[in-house]
Structure 1
Amino acid sequence: YEVKIYQPLSKAKALTTNHAQYATSLGIPFVEQIDASADCNLVIDGLFGFGLTRPLEGEMAAMVDRLNQRSTPVVSIDLPSGLHTDTGAALGTAICATHTLCLGLWKKAFLQEQALQYLGRSELIDFGLPLADITAVLGKMPNLQRITPDLAFQALPLSRPPSTHKYKQGHLLLICGSRAYMGAALLAGLAARSSGVGMLSIAVPESLRLLLIGQLPDALVMGCPEDETGAIAQLPEEMDFSKYTVIAAGCGLTQGASAVIEQILETDRPLLLDADGLNILAKLGTIPTLQKRQAPTVLTPHQGEFKRLFPDLAEPETDRITMAQTAAAQSGAIVLLKGARTIIASPKGKAWLNPESTPALARGGSGDVLTGLMGGLLAQGMMGETNPESIVLGAAWWHSQAAILAAKERSELGVDASTLIDYLIPGLQQLKALCLHDESEMGDG
């Protein structure tokens, strides 16, 4: 290979200077301008890496911008030059790599949504950092973890005792739908059924009841009084909340169902809120309302809903991981912040990040599917000793893996919400096969 080196910085650390002198001794030419490398088939970016805090300016920024205009593949070492190590933000500008080799341990930037356009395909280069050194710096259990297949698999209630019955496998109450958003109730109900929950009850406006019964004959569908807009005006007077393991509410409700959300917030049942359930909560006052609850609460906002729920936290300069962790600590709720890198934060300070997803999920109804699936899994898990954070991260992983599988077979354009539901079980089977294969290899080793 013919190699050229461009070294724009006159001042360098001693080790960098030694490496440059060694390259010179090998006869590798140095070029004065980045344009002299225009005929190269590959660029290796080693300008800046871990620890950059100042923005790229002047000639350095102009050089990066010229490089980004090329179609030449770029491999960045540790981090694309110009990215902040923790927030993943571009400091002025940053190199858009096609491949990034992260050295030793994953940097926080790799887990940030705003860094994705710069990272390209990421790969960890493990060169054997001693565990004792890692523990001395990070502690035994870091507050932020990437979700792995094994971690997700262990969180899912896949194993049942030989002697059991439906009432031991959880009872989920879904409160969802309106005349304007009939499909949301159906999508959430079908996804909940795919979770394997023992009993599924669905409260919808009376005008939706027959539609739901026709599509979900195995669910207990309750028609509720509705207002002039078609929203649920109130829940049935005879409803006994103690029958339900978990309540999930919000999909397609509209804000006309405010009284219903207020009512379930006062129950002692574990609660999952999405969509208009979150918007109504925001109007009630997120933190003071949730601080009154004793049972676990799970919130699943996208960025816009998060800003309404926690207006003081959604600052542009604050990274999403810190926002979710702070929101969970202040509200006492488990916060799942949706995005290309979904974050799950516990009130105890710990957070998990889903490193795998697909733009195919940027479709109406995908969130309804997640709510139904997660509600069903929570109802099963809460019957045992599984903590709700584990169930939430398992649901998020399963949901994204189903979408990835569907996109692989049908393209990113072919994954509507109904198709996503069809791929939930195949996605789970794929996850199970992967984890069992890994266990088998460990046993053989």
Structure 2
Amino acid sequence: MKLHDPILTPEESKEFEKSILGDSQLKAYKAMELAGEKLADSLCAEFGKYLGASPSVLGLVGAGHNGGDALVALARICKNISGLKLTVAIPKMQKLRPNTLKAFWRLQNSFSGKNLEIIDISELEKIVGKHFDLILEGLTAMSFTPPMRGDLKNAIISANRIQARLKVSVDIPAGAYTLPQSTVFKADATYATGIAKTTLFYDFNKPFAGRIRYLDIGFFDSSENPYNECKRDFITRPDALEFLKILRPSASDKRGYGHLFIVGGSQSYPGAVMINARAAIRGGCGLVTAFVPEPLAPAYAAMEPSVIWVGCPQDESGALALESFGLIKARLKYASALAIGSGLTASTESTALVCEILKASEPLPTVLDADAIRPQILAAAANRKLLLTPHEGEFLRIAPDTSDCALLETCKIYGCACALKSSITRISDGKNIVRSTRGSPVLSRAGSGDILAGLSGALMCNPNLQSPMDAGICASQWLGISAEKAFYSACSEAPLASSDIIKFISSGL
């Protein structure tokens, strides 16, 4: 089971592509077809409903293979969405590389009616006043190096001025480079075709790349891939969750799929542990038991009867009291994993309670979230499979900053894996970093991290996953895709709550 592929520099990518495709125009065109078709299918699956019926589309096509990818994608989008009106801005035919010209003729020959308009890329400024539903940009690729030609600069400036509901780049936004540039195409989403390049992940390029979607076209399928062992920077594969789709044995028992214990909740944050539990029970666990303050348990049992709710004493602040320890300890022998912290608060008693639970449950795999991510609690959590799921503010309690170096070093210090939540979630075990790019601003709201903690806890019970890092990778991917499905349903990122995302966990597979 392979969960991630390496992220390469543009130079490494060129060399690696060359080793796979050689000088074969046929192989290069087959790769172009696969990349373009996967891009189109992925785009339509996420944004097709958002674009609406009979959308107007502008294709910005360069002379090279990135332009060819865009042309293949445009042809496929036209096939997927009926009534589409297409404008293609492209250089003169004599400037196109052979495979790009081939892709253009195929697009033109497949398009019937009056819904196709071809203009020269140099005339892009003339349509600045028009509005499109989709702009698909394939002007340059990883081979771009400054200084930028005047005609390319003018095309990018014009493209950024044209209004569109969705702007998408093929592989790398035009003008983006390994150093900051003044003129870059500003995309809402970028589809990394075949290889995810480091260019996309520089902080200065993030505002231009938008949502990053990695498209696997088989480049890393070979066991002879030289980069798996020497790289430390990876991206989650699109098929990372395939193992969860396999049929379970017909003679199954709930105990065979793990029993997750959740400890959290308080009068101040009563909803977090409900989100935890609902995510966990949908994450494949056979049993979920949640230990919550006593006043919350009856209502929660009525709201989510699939979970075992155990009411516990609370302290004067409404958080779990230290005297809950005896009740929890008596049941620990039934647990397969722990998920602790969501809605917990940092009360003195609840912190002491968590430390005691961890000391009494040393072998159990554990997820720590939110207020459980503190130095004194991490000290009590030593010598176990441990995954942390902090946002950046919580991570700063245990690390000097949120850089890649700090993430690696913090994981080494505490002997843990960490899924550091952000627009791109970084999962590390102290040796490598895997970037999870799925999801969208749908997740920029309270409660989304509680879903991640619940899914992570469920996956820590899964025997197919070898490590806490694997659980963090799969949980982040699953949450991200679920958020995309929620967006597709609503056609907006605004009118959604985190509890709505839970409804799409099943379709997130």
Do Structure 1 and Structure 2 share a fold, with TM-score over 0.5?
yes
Q: Whole-Å Cα distance in 2 between the matches of residues 374 and 130 of structure 1?
A: 27
For 2:204 and 2:211, locate their aligned partners in 1 and report how far apart those are by CA, in whole Å: 15
Structure-to-structure mapping, 1:211-230, within 5 angstroms:
211-230=299-318
Q: Distance in 2 between matches of 1:336 and 1:404?
A: 19
Q: Give distance in 2, aligned partners of 1:305 and 1:191.
A: 21
Which residue of 378, 391, 401 maps to 2:481?
Answer: 401
Query: Residue in 1 aligned with 2:335?
Result: 244
- Given candidates 449, 457, 462, the residue that maps to 1:367 is 449
User: How much does 1:114 deviate?
Assistant: 5.8
* C-alpha contact 1:361 1:415 (8 A) present in aligned 2: no
Name the % identity.
25
Cα distance in 2 for partners of 1:180, 1:372 equals: 19
Q: TM-score, normalised by structure 2?
A: 0.62
- Contact 1:179 1:231 survives alignment (8 Å): yes
2:436 paired with 1:358: no
In 1, the alpha carbon distance for the partners of 2:500 and 2:171 equals 38
TM-score for both structures, normalised by structure 1: 0.70
The alpha carbon displacement at 1:167 in A equals 2.0
| 2:467 aligned partner | 387
Q: From the superposition, tell whether residues 229 and 125 of structure 1 become closer, same or farther in structure 2 (CA, over 3 Å).
A: closer
SS of 2:285's partner is coil
Q: Which residue in the other structure is 2:368 paired with?
A: 273
**Which residue number corresponds to residue 354 of structure 2?**
261
Q: Larger deviation: 336-345 or 261-270?
A: 261-270
- 5+ residue gaps, structure 1, are 6-21, 24-34, 432-445
Contact 1:329 1:346 in 2 (8 A): yes
C-alpha RMSD over aligned residues: 4.2
**Aligned residue for 1:437?**
none
In the TM superposition, what are the counterparts of 1:74-85 in structure 2 within 5 Å?
A: 79-80=172-173, 83=176, 85=178
What residue in structure 2 maps to residue 144 of structure 1? 233
Mapped to 1, the partners of 2:272 and 2:416 lie a distance apart of: 24
Deviation by residue 1:353-395 (Cα, 9 ceiling, x = unmatched): 222211111121111122122212222x14x664333232222
What are the residue-to-residue correspondences of 1:2-401 with 2, within 5 Å?
38-39=125-126, 70-71=161-162, 79-80=172-173, 83=176, 85=178, 91=180, 93=182, 95-98=184-187, 105-111=195-201, 115-119=205-209, 135-136=225-226, 138-140=227-229, 142-154=231-243, 156=244, 159-234=247-322, 235-238=324-327, 239-240=329-330, 241-256=332-347, 257-266=350-359, 267-268=361-362, 269-278=364-373, 281-282=374-375, 284=376, 289=379, 293-311=382-400, 313-314=401-402, 318=403, 320=404, 322-347=405-430, 349-379=431-461, 381-382=462-463, 386-401=466-481
Superposed CA deviations along residues 4-40 of structure 1, whole A, max 9, x for unmatched, are x9xxxxxxxxxxxxxxxx97xxxxxxxxxxx998547
Q: Which amino acid aligns with 1:338?
A: K
> Partners in 2 of 1:422 and 1:103 — Cα distance?
30
**TM-fit CA distance, 1:203:** 0.7
* Alpha-carbon separation, structure 2, partners of 1:150 and 1:176: 32
Question: Does the Cα contact within 8 Å between 1:111 and 1:353 map onto a contact in 2?
Answer: no
Query: Is the 2:320–2:344 contact (alpha carbons within 8 Å) kept by the matching residues of 1?
Result: yes
**Alpha-carbon distance in structure 2 between the residues aligned to 1:139 and 1:178:** 44
Count of residues in correspondence between the two structures: 376
Structure 2 CA distance for partners of 1:226 and 1:108, relative to 1, 3 Å: same
Equivalent-residue separation in structure 1 for 2:269 and 2:220 (angstroms): 55
